[in-house]
Amino acid sequence: MTSTPSWPRRRVLAAIALVAALTALAAGPADAQLRKTNPDVGDGEIRSTPYRYASEEGQFQVTWPSGCGELKIRANDADPFAEGEEAEIVLVQHVSCDQYGVEGEGCSVTASLDVRDRQGRPAGPAHVVSRVRKVLEAAGVKLVRQQAIKKEYPDGLKVEGLEVFGTAADGSGQFWVRGLLVYHDIYILSGWSARGDLWDNPEFQTFFNEFVPYTE
């Protein structure tokens, strides 16, 4: 049995840390502190099977992969992505999971709600593209491919976004980011695997493809 090369693992872990830093770990107020939760889905702390989860605060529903029994939640009313013309005050919630408690394997959802510029205009597609690319570029992740996506949700809501797939610089590990614009809200879904078991993993495909924003 061979071990995972240390450099690619550090690269993927750096990308994971960056996702958290750029989306929900703005320093300062107490409401930005880490909160852990074990959703009551009747399968113990590890959760040996995927399960459905709804976040009222972040206004989304998602199916977490197996091994995501403990969720890490951070919330802050400051938007770490904000710069230039973007407003600084929105609700940001970041929910993440280290699969089976292993760093380098996991996924997260970041909800930035009511994103507007300083003139009060709602966020547009360019904001989504900027946020997705910022995560990858700052982490030094090698882009493998990217594509525009279209999703249709209940009540006829049609959403467009961008998703990208990347690796460490030498091609090891896998990283997957999807950005969606829903009305004035931006959702960033991220998945990472230092061992490279992500893009073709059915549970992570479900995590991305069965994500639903609240559409009321």
8 Å CB contact between 162 and 90: no
Q: What is the dihedral of CA 16, 3, 45, 73, to 10 degrees?
A: -10
pLDDT tens digits, one per residue of 40-76: 544 445 678 999 999 988 899 999 999 998 898 888 7
Q: What is the dihedral of CA 200, 38, 181, 126, to 10 degrees?
A: -80
pLDDT tens digits, one per residue of 67-77: 998 898 888 75
3-state helix, strand, coil in the chain (%, to 5): 25, 40, 35
Q: In whole angstroms, how large is the CA radius of gyration of the chain?
A: 16
Q: What is the reported pLDDT for 183?
A: 87
User: Is 6-35+48-213 CATH 3.40.430.10?
Assistant: no
- Rounded to two decimals, the pTM is 0.80
Q: State percent of the chain over pLDDT 90.
A: 35
**Angstrom distance (rounded) from CA 175 to CA 172:** 10
Q: What is the reported pLDDT for 13?
A: 55
Nearest CA among 162, 153, 122 for reference residue 215: 153
pLDDT tens digits, one per residue of 68-127: 988 988 887 555 555 554 555 467 888 999 998 888 899 999 998 888 877 788 888 988
Nearest CA among 148, 126, 208, 129 for reference residue 175: 208
Mean pLDDT of the chain: 77
